[in-house]
Structures are given as C-alpha cells and as structure tokens.
C-alpha cells in the first residue's frame, strides 16, 4: 500500500520526466495558463 508521500514523490518524478520531454517553452506556456486560471478563478468567485 502506497502512502501519501510515496504518491507525492512518484508524481513529482513523473512531472519532471514529462517536463523534460515536452521542453521549456511548453512548460512556460502551461505554467502561465495555469497561473492565469488560478488568478482569475478567485476573482470570479469574489465577483459572484
């Protein structure tokens, strides 16, 4: 049985492999998109 720490380490390792494969430009684009979503969602919630 895997505990939470094992899942976290496995997830981080998988994420690093994926990032290495897709390249820095794609990572920056994805990161920016995610960051924008994270900034916009609270504003929308607050506006409602």
Residue 48 in 3-state DSSP?
coil
Alpha-carbon separation of residue 33 from 7, 10, 12, 43 (angstroms): 25, 24, 20, 16
Q: Phi, psi at residue 13, to the nearest 5°?
A: -65, -45
pLDDT (0 to 100) of residue 43:
87
pLDDT (0 to 100) of residue 7:
87
pLDDT (0 to 100) of residue 1:
61
* pTM beyond 0.75, yes or no: no
pLDDT in tens, 2-46: 788 888 888 889 888 887 887 778 878 888 999 998 999 888 888
């Amino acid at each position: 049985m895997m505990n939470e720490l094992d899942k976290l380490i496995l997830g981080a390792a998988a994420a690093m492999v994926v990032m290495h494969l897709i390249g820095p430009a794609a990572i920056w684009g994805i990161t920016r998109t995610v960051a924008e979503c994270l900034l916009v969602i609270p504003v929308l919630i607050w506006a409602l």
